[in-house]
Amino acid sequence: MFDMEKSVKQTEGIIRKYLPKEEGYQKTIFKAMNYAVNGGGKRLRPILMLKTFEGFGGTGEVIEPFMAAIEMIHTYSLVHDDLPALDNDEYRRGRKTTHVVYGHAMGILAGDALLNYAFETAMKAFELDDLDVVRRAFEILVKKPGVYGMIGGQVVDVEKSGIALDKDELDFVFRCKTAALIEAAMMIGAVLGRASKEEQRKVEQIARNIGIAFQIQDDILDVISTTSELGKPVHSDERNQKTTYVTLYGMERARQDVITYSNNAIEEIKTLRGHHEELISLVSLMINRKK
C-alpha cells in the first residue's frame, strides 16, 4: 500500500543529496536555493516520477538526479511566482518567501540558479545509464518547463491578469503552466523505466489529466481553504483578478471535474503495462487533497 509520508521522507533524502554546499564567496545564493527547496512542499512531482519509474519496473539510481532536478525547477517557478513583479506573496510552504528573507535581487538569482542547477544535477544521470535513454529524459526536462510548456502558460496567466479568459485560454494555461511539469515528471519516469514510445505518449496524456485535476483543485482551495492550512495566502486569485476554473464553471462543476479528470487518469493507468498500484493510490489521494 502507498505510504505518502514515507515517500515524502525518501524523496527529501534524495533531493538533499543533490543540493549545493553553502560555501565560497557566493554562498548566499546557495543558502537562498537551499532555503527555497528545503521549505517543505508536497514533493508531488518527484514522487510521481519515482512511482511511474517503479511501476514500469525501473530500478537503480538513475532516477535520483532527475527527481532532484524536477523539484528544483518546480521550486524556481514558485520563487519567481512569489516575486513582487508577479504575485507579490510573502508566504509559501508555511514560511516567508525566498525574496522576503534574502531580498528581491537574491530572490531573482535564486530562481535562476535553481533552474540552471537542475540541469547541472540531471547531467549526473549520464554516468548512470544508457546514453540514448538519458538523453531522451533530459530532453523532456529541458522542453516541458519552457516557452511551449510551463513558462508559456505563465505568460498568458500574467498577461491576462484582470482580463477575462475564455475556456480555451484557461485550458491552455492549465495544460502549460501546471500540467507540463507533471507531464515531464511522469514521462521521465516512464522513459527511464524503459516504457515504449506508445506507452510514453499514454503517460503524457495521463499526466495531463492529473495536472488539470491538480490545478482545478488548486483553484478550489484558493477559495475554500485557510492560509494556515495551505501555508500560502488564500484568495490570491480574487486579489489578482484572475479567471479560474471556479469563476468560469462554478464550485460544483469544479469539484466534479477534479473527480472526472482524476478518474480518467486512473482508468488509463490501469491499462499500462507493469505494476502501478502505488501510482493509482497517489492519484486517488490527490483528489481529496487539502493543501
- Contact positions toward ligand GRG, by CB under 6 A? 41-42, 44, 77-78, 80-81, 86, 93, 150-151, 154, 177-178, 215, 218
Any idea of the CA torsion for 124, 126, 128, 129, to the nearest 10 degrees?
Answer: 150
**CA triplet 233, 71, 46: central angle to 5 degrees?**
110
Cβ closest to ligand GRG, residue 157 vs residue 278: 157
Burial of residue 288 (CB within 10 Å: 0-12, 13-18, 19+) is: exposed
Query: Taking the CA atoms of the chain, what radius of gyration do you get in angstroms?
Result: 18
Cβ atoms of 241 and 162 within 8 Å: the answer is: yes
Cβ closest to ligand GRG, residue 62 vs residue 150: 150
CB of 92 to ligand GRG, least distance (A): 7
Cβ closest to ligand GRG, residue 129 vs residue 231: 231
Cβ closest to ligand GRG, residue 134 vs residue 179: 179
Maximum separation of any 2 CA atoms in the chain, in Å: 54
CB of 106 to ligand GRG, least distance (A): 15
CB of 155 to ligand GRG, least distance (A): 9
CB of 78 to ligand GRG, least distance (A): 6
Cβ closest to ligand GRG, residue 73 vs residue 206: 73
CB of 197 to ligand GRG, least distance (A): 28
Query: By three-state DSSP, how is residue 267 classified?
Result: helix
Residue number of the CB atom closest to ligand GRG: 41
Which residues, in sequence order, are CB contacts of 59 under 8 Å at separation 6+? none
